[in-house]
Amino acid sequence: MRNDNGSEGAFRHGPGVAALTLCTTLFAIPASAHHATGGATPSNGWEGFLSGLAHPVLGLDHFAFVVAAGLIAALHRRGVLIPVAFAAASLVGTSVHRLALDLPAPELMISSSVLLFGVLLVARPRSLPIVVGLASVAGIFHGYGYGESIVGAEMAPFSAYLLGLAVVQLVVALSTQRIVQMESRPALGAESVIYRWAGVVIACIGLGYLSTRVLG
Q: For 105-135, write each residue's pLDDT tens digit.
A: 999 999 999 999 999 999 888 899 999 999 9
CB distance 52 to 160 below 8 Å: yes
What is the per-residue pLDDT for 36?
Answer: 58
Q: Using CA atoms, how far apart are residues 72 and 86, in angstroms rounded to an integer?
A: 12
C-alpha–C-alpha distance, residues 186 and 182, integer Å: 8
Q: What is the pLDDT of residues 138-189, one digit of tens each?
A: 999 999 999 988 888 899 999 999 999 999 999 999 999 998 888 655 444 5
> What is the pTM for the complete model shown?
0.83
What residues contact residue 47 under an 8 Å CB cut-off, 6+ apart? 37, 157, 160
